[in-house]
Amino acid sequence: MLKEKKSFFERLAGSISVDDEDEQVDFTPEQEIEEEVEEVQIKHPAKRQQEQPVQSASPARAKPRHLTLDEDMEEVDPDMEEGELSVDVYQTANEIIIEAMVAGVKPEDLHLSITRDMVTVKGRRDGNTSVTHDDYFYKELYWGTFTRTILLPHEVEIEEAEAVEKHGLLIIRLPKVDKARQTKLKVKSI
């Protein structure tokens, strides 16, 4: 039996003519596109973590919970997730200044690592463990470990850097390297 080629509209819309009723159609074009997208997402997982809502198995209290997938598409414990610290970075004539809100972080839980062109801030904010999860109406604050690495626009003098915390605001002052500074060197005879 001779098959007729589908019209452009039939191929675009995914419709079939009455003559094609005996053919079994498994997919609509939308389903085929969705499957292709799913295949691409599986082959190329995003580098950042992805959150997907998952329904609870209990029908009585079906609360959505979030399942976090890492690069290998494995489930990650939400308590082990690492947050990213929000920062402001600006400059003055002689310094680069980094400010970050670290309210609730004990000084011993805050670690700074500085190189000439990069600053890393790591820390841990411990939450209130006396309140059960079911007693919360809103739980929007981040509790747990956090880190932030900042690439600096200028080289800095790491020996002269200083960090202070004032009312929950971490202020890191990084003096810029003065590339125009010159010194005279005397040659000694040995």
Phi-psi region of 167 (alpha: psi -120 to 50; beta: other; left: phi over 0): left
Taking CA atoms, 108 is separated from 38, 125, 138, 172, in Å, by 45, 11, 29, 16
* d(C-alpha 57, C-alpha 78), whole Å: 18
Parent domain of 51: 27-80
Q: Is residue 87 pLDDT above 60, yes or no?
A: yes
Question: How many domains, in total, are found in the chain?
Answer: 2
pTM as predicted: 0.53
Share of the chain above pLDDT 90, in %: 29
Look at residue 100 and tell me if it is in a domain: yes
- State whether 126 and 76 are in the same domain: no
Q: State residue 186's pLDDT score.
A: 87
2 pLDDT tier (thresholds 50, 70, 90): low
* d(C-alpha 181, C-alpha 145), whole Å: 40
- How large is the average pLDDT for residues 78-106? 86
Report pLDDT digits (tens) over 138-158.
888 888 889 999 999 999 999
Q: Which residues contact 104 (CB under 8 A, 6 or more apart)?
A: 125, 126, 168
Taking CA atoms, 78 is separated from 67, 86, 143, in Å, by 8, 20, 11
Q: State residue 152's pLDDT score.
A: 94
Look at residue 35 and tell me if it is in a domain: yes
Report pLDDT digits (tens) over 157-173.
999 999 999 899 999 99
Q: Is residue 176 pLDDT above 70, yes or no?
A: yes
Report pLDDT digits (tens) over 37-86.
444 444 444 444 444 444 444 444 444 444 444 444 444 455 557 788 88
Look at residue 50 and tell me if it is in a domain: yes
Contact 174, 98 (CB under 8 A): yes
Look at residue 108 and tell me if it is in a domain: yes
- How large is the average pLDDT for residues 118-131? 87
- State whether 71 and 150 are in the same domain: no
- State whether 36 and 90 are in the same domain: no
- State whether 161 and 118 are in the same domain: yes
- How large is the average pLDDT for residues 19-39? 50
